[in-house]
A and B are shown apart, each in its own frame.
Chain A
């Protein structure tokens, strides 16, 4: 920027404009700082609380010990079982929705026709709609069809909320793909399936992986659908934790949260490295 165009700083600057600049910077810094603190502090507080040696969720804790992690591991078979079920449901739902959503992304991402745009926004709609309504709707449909609830019905509900994430990230990656690459592969005689396997898939893999990871976490965390679609014998982890926090405020909930936070941070950092999830969330 040529210096003649810069407003002149220093002695000539009036007191009013200095105050003006200062107040803007201060407002931005203070509010942004509060936002940053708010993003981090709750997680830190839960982590610290989970190492308490007391029976209550007092903060700061009177003393520290890993006792609640031991209690979680040794005498909470119901929490461990719920966690394993959640992992299983999330894994299956993610796998199924990855296949469905990647296929749909291949079909829709480059199309500008009205039907394709409409279909795309329909597929994205579970992200905007209250999914609780969808959970209830699915429950009523299964009831009317005399179809009892099972892990399968749970997976069906979860696929509906997982697919949009994978569709979004895969479509975005496909749109960034240079069509010349596909063209040259085709003109060199490669068949469509071969082009897909050797050119398209490797290039959009980070997008698919990022979407699958976000979908997995969304399914693992889902309450709105599971609330209606899990049968009496299968309770998923977030609902188990919801019951614990709602009824007894058991400190084991803090330990379970600590495990989840640690797992999220580790997986999140690994996936950021491999697939750049933050790029795909914007």
Chain B
């Protein structure tokens, strides 16, 4: 009996949904960004000229990408040892650790951001502790600072870094490490010359996830960053909803979209190279 439909046709419903509700809108975003004014009559590159010829706008793009880069590095610095410890832990402890890593990821990002508002506040735990030991006179300003946003974002996005690293590190044959040590390399040398290169695919995947998430983390950027620092996501929101300037908002969104895409693509190419390096 002939089946009513082919197996590949099952991808059609989601395909149509994506065509209509992801691609068409994104094409529309590009189309709207190519208009001179908010009346959407004349087309042209005026919005892009406005964005890229103004140091203020470029500064916002730069600080957003810089924030994402700093967040990624910090998340890597503390996330990597955690992932490594996980692979060394006995199975029972691993089950507890994985839950402690996954549960924050499932918890609302607004809640996790709110936690940092409480921690970094004038009456938060850091200021209370420092004052109770008499190390500082007046409470430090921690909330609404660049450092505050970076630390909060790194903590909030850390599970995205740790999970792919755990996968990569678990796939490394422990004999390789042992062989390296038997041949006389110390722990540090073994780590930098064996473990780290072999975990590159997971490391890159984690870095990309954290970078993309940090660059578009609207809630954390606005609540921990405060009104003094503007990042791209809030700028898009402000221009679209508060200023009603859709062409310019579309241009900012395109700039963010393309920047993130470029970083992701470059990192993927580097990733493929690094894989070749490992096998060579």
Q: Which residues of A contact B (CB under 8 A)?
A: 1, 5-7, 17, 20-21, 23-25, 27-32, 34-36, 38-43, 45-46, 49, 56-60, 99-101, 103-104, 106-108, 111, 116, 119, 122-123, 125-134, 136-141, 143-144, 156-157, 159-160, 163, 167, 191-192, 214, 217, 220-221, 223-224, 227-228, 238, 241-242, 245-246, 249, 253-254, 257, 260-261, 264-265, 267-269, 272, 277-278, 281-282
Contacts and interface: CB of A to CB of B under 8 A. Distances in A.
B225 to A, nearest CB: 11
A279 to B, nearest CB: 9
B219 to A, nearest CB: 5
B118 A130 contact: no
B182 A6 contact: yes
A76 B182 CA distance: 65
B167 A282 contact: yes
Nearest to B247: A140
B236 A132 contact: yes
Interface residues of A: mostly helix, strand, loop or mixed?
Answer: helix
Interface stretch (B41-49, B55-63, B96-104, B269-277): B96-104
Interface string B22-33: 101110110010
A34 B78 contact: yes
B116 A42 contact: yes
A132 B218 contact: yes
Given A38-B158, A246-B222, A45 B100 contact: no
B26 A134 contact: yes
Contacts of A133: 26, 29, 216, 236, 253-254, 256-257
A113 to B, nearest CB: 9
B115 A43 contact: yes
B106 interface: yes
Interface residues of B: mostly helix, strand, loop or mixed?
Answer: helix
A28 B257 contact: no
Contact of B155 (A23, A42, A238, A265): A42
B109 A264 contact: no
By Cβ-Cβ distance, the 9 closest A-B pairs, closest first, are A42-B115, A130-B216, A24-B187, A137-B25, A31-B81, A107-B11, A35-B82, A107-B10, A32-B85
Given A242-B110, A261-B107, A163 B14 contact: yes
Contact of B101 (A39, A41, A119): A39
Given A35-B79, A107-B8, A281-B105, A49 B111 contact: no
B112 A42 contact: yes
Contacts of B81: 27-32, 35
Nearest to A17: B186
Contact of B25 (A34, A116, A134, A265): A134
Contacts of B8: 107, 111, 116
10 contacts: A29-B81, A35-B78, A40-B100, A42-B112, A130-B256, A130-B260, A132-B253, A133-B257, A159-B17, A281-B102
Contacts of A34: 78
B3 interface: yes
Interface in B219-255: 219, 222-223, 232-233, 236-237, 240-241, 246, 249-250, 253-254
B135 interface: no
A164 B216 CA distance: 18
Contacts of B188: 20, 23-24
Q: Contact residue range for chain B?
A: 35 or more
B125 A132 contact: no
Most buried by A among B7, B105, B109: B105
B264 to A, nearest CB: 6
A242 B114 CA distance: 9
A43 B107 contact: yes
A264 B108 contact: yes
B66 interface: no
B90 interface: no
A31 B104 CA distance: 19
A129 B123 contact: no
Contacts of A167: 14
Nearest to B75: A35
B246 to A, nearest CB: 6
B215 interface: yes
Nearest to A163: B14
B240 A281 contact: no
Most buried by A among B13, B107, B159, B164: B107
A140 B178 CA distance: 58
A281 B85 contact: no
